[in-house]
Amino acid sequence: MTGTIASFSKIMARLSMIVNFFTLFSVVAGILIIISSVFATRYTRIQEAVFYTILGARGRFVLAVFAVEGLLIGLASSIIALTLAQTTGWIVCTYALDVAYQPFAGTSLLMALVTMLMVVAVGLGAAAPILRHKPAAFLREQAEE
């Protein structure tokens, strides 16, 4: 019995290591996707900042708009991810493993909050250099194209 438990323990440790690896891989991939989406929409953000500035908005207002946008994107993505993860976890626990499902609501909500804050931070980090552009220079570039 002891040998069986030790063998099972080794298998579970390896399985846990594999799950941790894929979790870390997913988090890194998610961060890269967030960063690439910010760079992909850089031109549009510059254009929005120029339009807001031309209409008389201050830099704080533009940052607030970008922060709210990031917050909404982060909220939507975290809700979708949380729903998929909880549903998949429930299905696997209930039907595949025949064990009681435990949702870990506190940890899940903390991860959703971290996701939202990360999206806002990356968005604001990319928006700060955008606000340094002068509207006239951007409009001249547009007129030349």
pLDDT value at 47 more than 70:
yes
Q: Where do we find the tokens 């909220």?
A: 75
Domain extents for the chain? 1-30, 41-144
* DSSP string for 64-114: HHHHHHHHHHHHHHHHHHHHHHHHHHHHIIIIIS-------HHHHHHHHHH
pLDDT higher than 90, residue 134 = no
pLDDT value at position 87?
A: 93
